[in-house]
Amino acid sequence: MLSLCGLGYWVQGFRCFPWLALNFHMAHNLNFNPSTLQLVQNSANFPMVAKPLYGILSDAFYIAGPHRIPYICIGGQFIFLILSWGQLALIPVTGQTLPSLMACVLLSNFGASIEEVSKDALVTEHGQKHRIKGLQSYSFMALAVGGILGNFLGGYFSHKLQPRTMFLIFSALLSFQLAISSSECLGLPHRQTPTGKSVTDNIRKHLSGLMIAISEDTISKPLTWILTSIAMVPILSGSTFCYQIQSLNLDLSVIGMSKVIGQLMLLSLTLIYDNHWKQIPMRKLVGGIQFVYAFSLLLDLILVRQINAGIHISNEVFTLCFSGLAETLAQFKILPFMVLLATLCPQGCEGSFTSFVASTVCLSSLVGGFWGVRLAALLGIKGGDYTSLPVGLLIQFVAALLPLGWIHQLPMSCPAEKEMKKCIDETQGFERVVGSVRI
C-alpha cells in the first residue's frame, strides 16, 4: 500500500510536467490573455469539488472486492488521465481550440480527483490501523519529489520537445502506473461490500456519519479557518506568468527551475515539520506560516517594480530564488490541518471525510482563483498592459494578512487523545469517543 500510494503521490506531483507545457502552449502558441489562461487553470479544478461523492461511493461500494485500488486504476490512470492527455498528444486539433482543450483538461482532473480520494483514504486507513500519526507528511514528500523532477524536466525539455510530445510522455508514465496498480489489485483478496445491504443504504449511512463529523467544533473551526484563509486571497498566477514570459522575456526553463526550487523548499519544510515542528503549538505555527506567506506575496511586486534590478539582481536570478516561495508556503500551510483532521477522521468513513476536506480546500482555491480573474479584469490587467499589476499584488498582501484576525479559531495543539467517530454497523449507528482538544 505504501509503495502504491508513494508512486501515486509522486505521479501526482509530476503532473506539473505536462501542465508547464500546457501553460506555455496557451500563452505562447494560442496567445491567450492572462485572464483566459487563469480561467482555464481554475476551471479545470471543478471536478475536484465533487470529491465527497467519490469518497462516499468508495466507502460504501467495493469494486470486484478490493476496497480502494480499483478506483485508482479506473479513475486515475485508465479512462481519464491516459485518454485525456493522450488525446491532446495524438490528436493535434484537440489542443488548438478552447472548448476541446477545456474538455480534455476537465476529463483529466475528473480522473485525478477519483485517484486522489482513494489514495488519501488508503493513507488515513493505514495510519489509523497501525496507529501511525502524521503519514500525510510522507504524502507531501512524495508530491514534492515528483514536483521537483516534473518542473526540472518540464523546463529543460520545453525548448527541445513540442508540447504534444510532453503530453505523450506523461501518458506513457500513467500507463506504467496503471500496470503497477493493476498487478497490486490482482493480488488482493476479494471482499464484499460491507453490511450486506444495498449501496444506497451504505451511502446514506456514510453521509450521515460525515455530517456528524464536520458538525463538531474541533473539526469545523480549523476547517473554516483554512478555507477562508485560502478563498479570500485573489490568485494572480496567470497574470504573473504572462508578465514573466511576455514583458520580462524570461525563458520557460527559468520559470521551471524556480518551481523546482519551490518544491525543494516544500520538501525541506515537510521534513522539518515531521521531525521538529509537530511539537510547536498549532496556532503559533500556522500563524507564523500565514504571516510569512503574506509577505512572500510582495516578492512579485519587487520583480514587477524592478527593484531587484536596482540592487543588481537580474530578473532570472530573482525569479529562480524567490518566485516559487509564496506558492510553496500556500501548499505547506495545508499540511498541519491535514494531519489534525486525519487524526479526527471517523473510522470507516476515511474516503468520504478526507475527500470532503480535499474538495472544500479545492473549492476555496477556486474561489481565490476566480476572485483573482475578476480582480485582474477590474484593474485592466491584460496581455501587454501590466501597469496595474502592482496594485493587484498589494491587494493580495492585505487579503493574506486578514485571516490572522481570527487565528484564535485554531486549537493550540493536536488532540492529546484522539477524538473520533467510529462507523459501526447499522444497528448501532455512529458511536462517538470524545477526547480533549485544548482550544
Question: How far is the C-alpha of 77 from the C-alpha of 8, rounded, in Å?
Answer: 10
Cβ-contact 48, 359 below 8 angstroms: yes
Give pLDDT, residue 113: 81
Pairing of the two strands 420-423 and 430-433: antiparallel
Angle in degrees, CA 54, 60, 64, rounded to 5: 90
Q: Does residue 157 contact residue 166 with C-beta atoms inside 8 Å?
A: yes
Question: Does residue 318 contact residue 303 with C-beta atoms inside 8 Å?
Answer: yes
Q: Which residue has the cell 504524502?
A: 139
pLDDT of residue 421: 43
Taking a C-beta distance cutoff of 8 angstroms, is the pair 292, 329 a contact?
Answer: yes
The per-residue pLDDT for 285 is: 92
Tell me, yes or no, if the pTM score tops 0.85: no
Q: How many CB atoms lie within 10 A of CB 239?
A: 29
- Looking at residue 196, its pLDDT comes to 52
Length of the chain, in residues: 439
The alpha carbon of 192 is separated from its chain's Cα centroid by a whole number of angstroms, namely 32
Using DSSP's 3-state secondary structure scheme, residue 432 falls into: strand
Tens-binned pLDDT, residue by residue, of the chain (439 aa): 667 778 888 888 898 888 888 888 887 788 777 777 777 877 777 877 777 777 777 776 666 555 667 777 765 555 566 778 888 888 877 777 888 888 888 888 888 887 887 788 777 777 777 777 667 788 888 888 888 898 888 878 877 888 888 988 988 888 888 777 777 665 555 455 555 556 677 677 767 777 877 888 888 889 999 999 999 999 888 788 888 888 888 887 788 788 888 888 988 998 899 888 888 888 999 999 999 999 999 998 898 888 988 888 898 889 888 888 888 899 899 988 888 887 777 776 666 787 788 888 888 988 998 898 889 889 888 777 788 889 999 999 999 999 999 998 888 765 543 444 444 333 334 433 333 333 3
Cell 464536520 locates to 214
Name, in order, each residue with C-beta under 8 angstroms of 413's C-beta and a sequence gap of 6 or more. 281, 282, 437, 438
Secondary structure of residue 11 in the 3-state scheme: helix
Residue entry with cell 526553463: 253
- The greatest distance separating any two alpha carbons of the chain, rounded to the nearest whole angstrom, comes to 72
Per-residue CA distances from 126 to 51, 66, 135, 194, 260 (Å) = 20, 15, 9, 18, 30
Give the burial string for 109-147 (b: 16+ CB within 10 Å, else e): bbbbbbbbbbbbbbbbbebbeeeeebbbbbbbbbbbbbb
H or E element at residue 430? strand 430-433
Q: What residues does 421 pair with on adjacent strands?
A: 432
Q: Rounded to the nearest 5 degrees, what angle is found at the Cα of 389, between the Cα atoms of 388 and 393?
A: 125
Name all domains of the chain by residue range, CATH numbers in brackets: 1-186+201-430 (1.20.1250.20)
- CA-wise closest residue to 346 among 438, 228, 224, 215: 215
